[in-house]
Amino acid sequence: MSKILIVDDDETIRMLYADELIEEGYDVFTIGDCTRVLALIQKKRPDLVVMETKLGKYNGLDLLQDIRNKYHELPVILCTAYPAFKMDMKSIAADFYVIKSSSLEELKGRIRMALRAGEPFQGTAIFNGAQQMATRL
């Protein structure tokens, strides 16, 4: 079961996303206090982060950079009602962008894509297994 962290300062959005994603079979946890996001990532080790770009007084794009600096392999989806964020160069660090809407289908699709992209290539496991067998011979 994949673990997803939802970062949004709006409690209603956090609850809505959590309910929908739990129904999809994900293990979901949420946070509204942006100052504790990195510590929560360290503790919970999510497979994916979904976050807003406007987080009260905190700039979500700065938080995205902080996440990338420490957890560069962790997929991040920016989900916002503000399409202008795409003009900020910091936003290129996100794996996907979703504009908030009443339907969460696009978000759920992007989550599936991001999680699939993070799966290790099956050929790598086969290669590593063959390499281990060769070293035993």
Residues counted in the chain: 137
Please list the pLDDT of the chain residue by residue as tens digits (137 residues). Answer: 899 999 999 999 999 999 999 999 999 999 998 889 999 999 999 999 999 988 877 788 889 999 999 998 999 999 888 665 556 566 667 888 888 887 899 999 999 999 998 664 443 343 344 444 444 44
Between CA 112 and CA 108 the distance in angstroms is 6
CA within 13 Å, CB half, 113? 13
Residues 6+ apart with CB under 8 A from 14: 6, 8, 30, 31, 32
Question: What domains lie within the chain, and their CATH numbers?
Answer: 3-136 (3.40.50.2300)
pTM of the model: 0.81
Report the Cα 98 to chain-centroid distance in Å: 12
3-state DSSP call for residue 119?
coil
Looking at residue 36, its pLDDT comes to: 92
Q: Report the alpha-carbon distance of residue 33 to residue 5 in Å, rounded.
A: 12
Alpha helices in 31-104 (DSSP H): 37-44, 60-70
Q: What integer pLDDT is reported at residue 104 of this predicted model?
A: 94
